[in-house]
Structure 1
Amino acid sequence: MSPRTTPAPRTPRTPRTHRAYRIGQIVPSSNVTMETEVPAILRAREAVAPERFTFHSSRMRMTHVTPEQLRAMDADSDRCAVELSDAHVDVLGYACLVAIMSMGLGYHRTSEERLHQRTAQNGAPAPVVTSAGALVHGLNTLGAKKIALIAPYMRPLTRTVVDYLTHEGIEVLDYEALEIPNNLDVAAHDPARLPGLAKALDHADADAVVLSACVQMPSLSAIEQAEQLLGKPVVSAAVCTAHQMLRALDLPAVAPGAGHLLSGAHA
């Protein structure tokens, strides 16, 4: 009988550590959705990927979605960018789509560059993503040249969104303007209504559908249901913003439960 040997002690495995990325958001003072949907998307990502995230915000005053309040709010975005750069955030998101689009065609490029420069001047340069630019990038990533969309804005502001996207080479075949002037009422809109509203749009020839062209109108819980109902990619301004933030961080743009854009097909 061979002598019994004691197994050599195993070397403890060094746990893998992964950096926690700081997500900064510039949000309208009455916005209560972007600080829930973007964290929800990135928390879902934490279940399938090693990176971790913390969330930090600075606010610009706005209660009603009018051209006057949007212009005044946008002028305050520089202060917010500097405040967030004090926290050395890794990426900064400007969370108001129509504020950017109402400032003129192609303005997301101007805003992103200016706010990035503010962070650099403060000694903490960070990439800047606007929800307006992210929607354009997200649709381009999907190869969507023709879309249908839902927006909570009054009809003239919704036309501004349509014209902005048209200028970016994206044809809006049909749209629904819900005409909700109060921003908190926009946040209270039931996302369960959105798939039915989307189905009523003339979307047969659309390459994709924008379920919410507004980061304040909740839609994340309805994205995948709408995709199944319509049989095509469905995005929102918030989903596109999360996608673009991950790309700006040079991380795979993947998150479960957020539709085709974040499914991994466009990581």
Structure 2
Amino acid sequence: MAILSDEQMRFLAIHSISMSRVFDASGMKRSVYQAAMRELSMTIAIGVSPCNAGGHTMKTRSGHCPQCGTHNLAFLLRHDEDGYVYVADSKQSGIVKIGTAGDVRTRITTLNNWGYGGVSDWRVHYHIACAKAGKVEFKAQSLLQSYRISRTYLKGGNTVDCQELFACSASMATESVQKAVDQIMPSKRLAELSKAKVAGVAKPEAVRQPNQKIAIQIKGPVYIRELAQLMGIKAHHVVQDLLKMKIHLLLDQEVSRQTAEKICKKRGFVLKT
């Protein structure tokens, strides 16, 4: 498990990178942690091999050292983009998470599939469409700094550390997000976003809560890529499910409706004709 140095903490603060964008890649191969970071929309990896120039142990998900070249962060940060800032909570553990997402439904599904922070019952307590979503997220988390906790979970045989979770009520986390919005977003812009769906963002009501089944409709055989898209997951996850069923197929091949139904059921979806 990697521990951030004072220098690294200062670097993250200067560039307004919240801990929810930092991924503990200790013991992982580069290809493994980069794939995980893309799926979870992480920006910075820690616990990686030192860079040649300065011996820094942080990397972007593109594999570059952000401390040697801050230009490597420009494309990844995108703090001024519109999106959703959400508060997720876990009834089982009593902890909360503040994050950003373009598609809240997919993000919560991913968190639960990963058992993120050792929790698999994440649910959305609050979400709001924001301009400068990354800055709102960072500010909201900084307001809860005294409640920050660290938890670990296992992924691919490696222990992953999560440092952006909070031991407070979901209501308190929601209040911190609302305060951050008031400080960062102009009221006029907030009104515009509240009336319209953010471009490319899934509707908030589509978020799946724990134990709530989402219906997927297909009429017959379906391509693996299409099935994955319907469930909001990566296509290779469907291939992994098939391998566990001793079915060997490629991404551009079809699965029968009966097989698709088994995969959907495993992942909490209901298949309709």
Question: What interval of TM-score do these two structures reach, taking the shorter chain for normalisation?
Answer: under 0.3
Structure with higher strand content: 2
Per the normalisation by structure 2, the TM-score is 0.26
Q: Which has the larger radius of gyration?
A: 1
Per the normalisation by structure 1, the TM-score is 0.26
